[in-house]
Every structure is written in structure tokens, then in C-alpha cells.
Amino acid sequence: MSAKVKRVTDENKLSVIKRYYNGCTAGDLDMLHSTLHQDVVHYFLALNVGTKPVKGREHLARYWRKVTRMIDARWVVDHAVTMGDEAVIEWTMFSRPAPNAQRIATRGAEWFVFRDGLIFEIRSYYQQRNESTERDAFDYAGRGYSSLNSERSAIHAEAEQFAAPESSESIQNK
């Protein structure tokens, strides 16, 4: 059964968030800089590796460029709600937990705070594991969410156009 969900979104904020994730996926520093406030702070849950907050536009942009190269990551925005200077989204990160491993889907949510039209704060909620993390019996496809067979969603269809850059290690091994 497919549930119709009405999205309450500010398209400008959603556009910035999608561009941020496209930049994370591509490891594109300029794209990331265009979405991040210079004083941005990204907070992570303590149960994951690398849980200290990442502070500052340049530091966060370089952090994601490094991560995406390490795990061949692609982020997809699956659902979004915005209100005032804040937005909450559900996302999926597709990645390889180890070189040559099968791709997995990590489901998560993030709370964004905007300042001057840019992302000022991000609070992440997810569990990073070496296998896919999904809700039992949730109709992802029926709600327009991404899946392992389709790394794009109804609201982030362009996500598949972006890919992780090759790491210097994989380039040297060619």
C-alpha cells in the first residue's frame, strides 16, 4: 500500500540541502562552500566513529571529501520538512563499508539550522554499521524514497548524477 504524504517544504532550503549532499557525494569543495555558513558546526551521535563535532566551512567540506573517497558514498534526500530557519530531513547514504564490498544503505535523519540562507548547524541521527539499516515493513519505494536498486528519490532525482571522486590510492592502483 502506498501512503501519500504531503511535504511541507521551503524549496530554497531544500535546494541548498540537496546541493550540500550532491557536494558531499562529489567531494566538490566549491559546491559545499556554496551551501555552508563559514561558522557551520556538524554534530554526530556518540555511537558512531568520528563523533566529535566538525566546525567551520573549510573543515567540514574537506571532511566530506575525505569520507566520500574512503567509502564511495552517495547521499540522497528522501523526505524533508522545513519551518522558519530550520529543516528536518530523512536521507539515505549508499556506500561500501570496505573496498570491493557490496553497497549498503544507511538510513538517517538530520536537523538543519540556517543562517543567512546557508547551513549553520547540522545534527545527525543514524547508526553507522557494515550492513544496511532500514525500518522493517516500511514501504520505501511506495513513498518515493531511494533504494539499493535506485540511488535517487522522488525529491532528489538528480542524486545519481553525482559520484565520489576516486581516491588517490585507487588512482595509484590503476
Per-residue confidence in pLDDT tens, the chain, 174 aa: 444 444 456 889 999 999 999 999 999 999 999 999 999 999 998 777 667 899 999 999 999 999 999 999 999 999 999 999 999 999 999 999 998 899 999 999 999 999 999 999 999 999 888 999 999 999 999 999 999 999 999 999 999 999 987 754 443 333
Strand-pair category, 118-126 with 36-43: parallel
Collapsing DSSP to helix, strand or coil, 67 comes out as helix
- Find, among 32, 113, 104, the residue nearest to 74 by Cα: 104
Count structural domains, the chain.
1
pTM, full prediction: 0.88
- CA–CA dist 60, 66 (Å, integer): 10
Residue 70 forms part of a structural domain: yes
Residue 5 forms part of a structural domain: no
109: CATH? 3.10.450.50
